[in-house]
């Protein structure tokens, strides 16, 4: 499964990449919504972890543009430290499929990967 991590904070990218690697996945990285949009025009992604607040193009605008521009829409997971109900509803209304809060939680990421990939990643955790 092709995974894209989009976040303007290097530490958040490193943490999520580490979690993904522990679960047996690799990911491409983007630092803002504009880079994410460009990446999706070059490579098909099945899952995108998208930060909401970023410079140049925020996650909401990027998700909207990505979902409009690709033939096979990816699952886009919103990531934000802002946990308001309105933000969550706004993201889901734009077509994002899930919303996770920062700081990132290993178990939540694991559940998202299990649900959206349909793969059993339990073996990877035991290695």
Superfamily for domain range 3-126: Response regulator (3.40.50.2300)
Q: Residue 69: how many CB atoms within 10 A of its CB?
A: 11
Domain ranges (residues) in the chain: 3-126
Query: What is the tens place of the pLDDT at every residue in 52-103?
Result: 999 999 999 999 999 999 999 999 999 999 878 998 999 999 999 999 999 9
CA of residue 120 relative to chain centroid, distance:
19
What pLDDT digit, counting tens, does each position of 12-54 carry? 999 999 999 999 999 999 999 999 999 999 999 999 999 999 9
d(C-alpha 36, C-alpha 44), whole Å: 11
pLDDT bracket for residue 122 (50, 70, 90): very low
pTM: 0.91
């Amino acid at each position: 499964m092709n995974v894209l991590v989009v976040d303007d904070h290097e530490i958040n990218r490193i943490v999520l990449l580490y979690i993904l690697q522990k679960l047996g996945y690799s990911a491409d990285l983007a630092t803002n919504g504009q880079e994410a949009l460009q990446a999706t025009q070059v490579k098909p992604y099945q899952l995108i972890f998208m930060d909401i607040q970023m410079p140049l193009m925020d996650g909401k605008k990027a998700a909207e543009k990505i979902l409009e521009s690709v033939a096979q829409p990816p699952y886009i997971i919103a990531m934000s430290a802002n946990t308001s109900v309105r933000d969550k509803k706004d993201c889901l209304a734009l077509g994002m499929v899930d919303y996770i809060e920062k700081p990132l939680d290993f178990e939540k990421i694991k559940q998202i990967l299990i649900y959206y990939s349909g793969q059993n990643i339990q073996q990877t955790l035991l290695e």
